[in-house]
Amino acid sequence: MRPDPRPVPTQTGPAQTGPAQTVRSTCPYCGVGCGVILTPDRAGGLSVSGDPDHPANFGRLCSKGSALAETVGLDGRLLAPQVFGQAAGWDVALEVVAKRFARTIAAHGPDSVALYVSGQMLTEDYYVANKLAKGYWGTANIDTNSRLCMASSVAGHRRAFGSDTVPGQYEDLELADLVVLVGSNLAWCHPVLYQRLCAARAARPEMRVVVVDPRRTATCEIADLHLAIAPGGDIALFNALLAEVESTRRTNPGFLRHVTGAGAAFAAARAGDPAGAGLSPADLRGFLDLWTGTQKVVTVYSQGVNQSSQGTDTVNAILNCHLATGRIGRPGMGPFSVTGQPNAMGGREVGGMANMLACHLQIENPAHRAAVQGFWASPAMPDKPGLKAVDMFRAVGEGRIKAIWIIHTNPVASMPEADLVAAALRACPFVVVQDVMAGTDTARLAHVLLPATAWAEKAGTVTNSERRISRQRAVLSAPGQARDDWRILADVARRMGWGAAFGWQSPAEVFAEHAALSGVAGALGSDFDISDHAGISQAAYEALAPVTWPANARRRGGRFFGEGRFHTPDGKGRMLAVAARVDAAGGLPFRLNTGRSRDHWHTMTRTGQSPRLSSHMAEPFLELHPQDAADLGVVPADLVELSNRFGRVILRALVTDRVAPGQPFAPIHWTGETAPSGRVDLLVPANPDQISGQPDSKAARVSLRKFTARWYGYAVAAADFRPDCAYWAKARVRGGWRVELAAEQAPLDWVTHARGLFGLHDAEVASVTDTGRGLARVAFHLDGRLLAALFVGPEPVALARDQLAARLGETAPQEVLAGRSRADRPDPGPAVCACLNVGLNTIRAAIEAGRALSVTALGDVLGAGTSCGSCRPDLAALIGRHRPKQAAE
């Protein structure tokens, strides 16, 4: 057992007993798994800083991690159980859930119920959920939103390695001479890992970076070579690479003795058509020469690879190249899947997916099933995989699943064919939602709502993308009646009659059991064995330092497979013959790519609370190539309607050549709460990879057309409000909200309309309207202080938006109506550097004046990019765009 040797005190005593002192914990967003130091204040808030001693981030944080303190407020929190729309006590709520699930199982069998969980859950919570579903309900119908994120990596790992093992560690990116980033916008989606890569590159300028991505993302700022690959062209590219490895005799014959399937894989690679990658011959040749000529290569891949109907084959195409050359499991070498979610890895470790057993054991293997069932002494154990996410919600829609319990995820917003998921849940006889927030799109469809503790209120462990297990520690008291997830699940299990098996008193006891089970798995040959921690005491758990698995008497940490031993029955790795498949175009002219934006996380239930994070991209947008925009008659800031057979979405046009013609891109974050017409996942067909079950989230075929509204509006308000019009998108600002609006019908009277919109029936009003030109400006105030304002025009209104939002609560109604910036406060424009709130206009002015012509100089002059560094790629791009002509020559 390794206690945490670092000096910051950690919480002691039973979990969830109240506010703690300063603690070391973990950021709850992406799979980098950065360590944070949290200090509570006396008002229920926090200060947050990067943990300088955490081996994932060494003190760094990105914009999201830096703004964590702004997300712990109680606005919108679910604070008490609700049963059939009525507030209820825990006893009633737990009894209803236990009885309904027991009754459903008794009447329709175990496969009539399901759990849909989340990579946001802690390992301990995940362990309890998986034990309840598989060992006690007797169904493998437990799946997770991680299915949408990295299931193809899991499947590819298991096919090649015999186990779901990430071979390397983060430091391999720093030690490599060539880092290839495939379908990974690391700069935005794993920003601290990107910062580590940038620092390594600065220290060793000879290091090379290649980005393989149809989009020119922020990550390309560091790339020596950007391969703007054709969508779905990755298999063609890596097959071309494998064929090149073979034809130039760059294989590693010694390592290939530990691998089977090489002959078939080489033959399939030779038969492939490199033209399918859609690259110029020069770019393709440059990449092949660089990869084959460099020994220390790390290939990082993420959602661009995984979220594909050919995701698993794509993963194996990448793994093939590393296996053929033996570039795996050694310093600076290896394939590296980076996970999107904070605890996707922990979920995999406990077996919290429909096709997995606990501790990386296999559900299809009778000996594995018997071992887990024996350890749990459980009454049941399914002998076949359950329904993966897409099939699970289809089964709900078809009435085969009659009771579903959804924990910490929002499938009505995030699943493909999202409106069909909503319809399925509406028709489901019993829906339980356990969450932190009360008003999510999914929570609105629940029969029972169970309030859970949030990130800073609960204790447990998470595992990051490099297999490092870190403690998350509670630092704030649980508000209202919120309870920890493991405890809620265990309480239901106890009420279903399984008290002895679910009798833990703390997450430490759950972790101790999980670690003990991993020892059983290790004896069966599993890679995941953390039996060092079996029976861990409460005190040791509280003091646990970050530890990389495996952690057992035979092996502690390190890399996998460098010595050529795999977890297959014969101990050999597997190369797979894979072939690129050309998907049917589907008739509609545009292929919609989806992904994340820099400062938001998933469906924004947390990051949406931060004005800083909301200022970078304040509304849902569509990156659209200038040629496409011209063809559609769209100019920047117009609204664009996207449609297909699943529905219609309206997004703001962001015209840019970052995307290729015909391949627009839209972020996934907006929901019915924040922008009902911006829910892009409703357009994504549930077209899963046949092996992994992961949906093809980057290939929705859509039609586009300019959306022409009768009027466009911009509103600011101190109090929340919900518009009712064709397009609206809401974002937090300090002291209130800013909202973009557009509608197809104009009201008769703008003042009356604005009163109703804001619900300000008694406030004083000032207004200027020009009916003939379709212009209106209406401001409401109380005692001269601005409460809300609405600006309307026949075109998207041009205003100093942030400046006007900053006027909330101020006394200058006439200046507000004039839409003017304050003379002493020039409009900085939308924030580029979210940490220091440096806006686009400010940065542009400094560049155009020649005052700052490098990212470092922008930091010196304005402070931009000097905190978390997430905006540094954006700053570099702005310098390139706005550099004065003579300075560029």
Q: Tokens standing for 381?
A: 């154990």
C-beta atoms surrounding 366 within 10 Å: 10
Q: Taking the complex as a whole, how short is the minimal distance between the CB of residue 518 and ligand SF4, in angstroms?
A: 24
Nearer to ligand SF4, 187 or 726 (CB): 187
DSSP string over 406-473: EES--HHHHSSSHHHHHHHHHH-SEEEEEESBS--TTGGG-SEEEEB--GGG--EEEE-TTSEEEEE-
Nearer to ligand SF4, 192 or 709 (CB): 192
Nearer to ligand SF4, 192 or 551 (CB): 192
Q: Taking the complex as a whole, how short is the minimal distance between the CB of residue 179 and ligand SF4, in angstroms?
A: 17
Nearer to ligand SF4, 96 or 604 (CB): 604
> Is residue 160 within 8 Å of 316, Cβ to Cβ?
yes
Nearer to ligand SF4, 193 or 649 (CB): 193
Nearer to ligand SF4, 82 or 306 (CB): 306
> Is residue 521 within 8 Å of 361, Cβ to Cβ?
yes
Which pairing describes strands 468-472 and 208-212: parallel, antiparallel, or unpaired? Answer: unpaired
Nearer to ligand SF4, 65 or 138 (CB): 65
Q: Taking the complex as a whole, how short is the minimal distance between the CB of residue 568 and ligand SF4, in angstroms?
A: 33
E strands present in 608-676: 621-624, 639-644, 647-655, 665-667
- Distance CA(601)–CA(29), nearest Å, equals 7
Q: Taking the complex as a whole, how short is the minimal distance between the CB of residue 709 and ligand SF4, in angstroms?
A: 36
C-beta atoms surrounding 811 within 10 Å: 12
Nearer to ligand SF4, 191 or 723 (CB): 191
> Is residue 597 within 8 Å of 607, Cβ to Cβ?
no
Which of 305, 301, 318, 243 has its CA nearest to residue 274?
A: 243
Q: Tokens standing for 837?
A: 């709130």
Q: Taking the complex as a whole, how short is the minimal distance between the CB of residue 389 and ligand SF4, in angstroms?
A: 23
Which pairing describes strands 647-655 and 621-624: parallel, antiparallel, or unpaired? Answer: parallel
Nearer to ligand SF4, 56 or 760 (CB): 56
Q: Taking the complex as a whole, how short is the minimal distance between the CB of residue 192 and ligand SF4, in angstroms?
A: 4
Give every CB contact of residue 674 below 8 A, 6+ residues apart in sequence.
604, 608, 729, 730, 731
Nearer to ligand SF4, 33 or 55 (CB): 33
Nearer to ligand SF4, 191 or 595 (CB): 191
Nearer to ligand SF4, 344 or 879 (CB): 344
- Distance CA(278)–CA(234), nearest Å, equals 10
Q: Taking the complex as a whole, how short is the minimal distance between the CB of residue 65 and ligand SF4, in angstroms?
A: 2
Nearer to ligand SF4, 57 or 362 (CB): 57
DSSP classification of residue 261: -
Q: Taking the complex as a whole, how short is the minimal distance between the CB of residue 475 and ligand SF4, in angstroms?
A: 16
The DSSP element (H or E) to which 818 belongs, if any, is helix 813-818
> Is residue 167 within 8 Å of 141, Cβ to Cβ?
no
DSSP classification of residue 401: -
- Distance CA(737)–CA(725), nearest Å, equals 17
Q: Taking the complex as a whole, how short is the minimal distance between the CB of residue 719 and ligand SF4, in angstroms?
A: 30
- For the chain, report the end-to-end CA distance as a whole number of angstroms: 61
Q: Taking the complex as a whole, how short is the minimal distance between the CB of residue 68 and ligand SF4, in angstroms?
A: 8
Nearer to ligand SF4, 613 or 683 (CB): 613
Residues near ligand SF4, by CB under 6 A: 27, 29-30, 32-34, 57, 61-62, 64-65, 190-192
Q: Taking the complex as a whole, how short is the minimal distance between the CB of residue 193 and ligand SF4, in angstroms?
A: 7
- For residue 491, the SS3 value is helix
Q: How distant is the alpha carbon of residue 409 from its chain centre? A: 11
> Which residues sit opposite 665 in a β-bridge?
593, 623
- Distance CA(739)–CA(723), nearest Å, equals 9
Query: What residue type is 722 in one-letter code?
Result: R
Q: Taking the complex as a whole, how short is the minimal distance between the CB of residue 407 and ligand SF4, in angstroms?
A: 21
Nearer to ligand SF4, 58 or 90 (CB): 58
Q: Taking the complex as a whole, how short is the minimal distance between the CB of residue 601 and ligand SF4, in angstroms?
A: 7
Q: Taking the complex as a whole, how short is the minimal distance between the CB of residue 30 and ligand SF4, in angstroms?
A: 3
- For residue 551, the SS3 value is strand
Q: Taking the complex as a whole, how short is the minimal distance between the CB of residue 345 and ligand SF4, in angstroms?
A: 13
Nearer to ligand SF4, 48 or 790 (CB): 48
Residue nearest to ligand SF4 (CB): 65
> Is residue 532 within 8 Å of 555, Cβ to Cβ?
no
Q: How distant is the alpha carbon of residue 727 from its chain centre? A: 25
Q: Taking the complex as a whole, how short is the minimal distance between the CB of residue 61 and ligand SF4, in angstroms?
A: 4
Phi/psi at 482 (5° precision): -60, 140
Q: Which residue is it, tokens 């350890």?
A: 375
Class of residue 45 by CB neighbours under 10 A (exposed 0-12, middle 13-18, buried 19+): middle
Query: What residue type is 511 in one-letter code?
Result: F
The angle formed by the CA atoms of residues 378, 384 and 386, to the nearest 5 degrees, is 90
Q: Which residue is it, tokens 């070498």?
A: 333
Whether omega before 667 lies within 30 degrees of 0, making that bond cis, reads: no
- Distance CA(167)–CA(370), nearest Å, equals 28
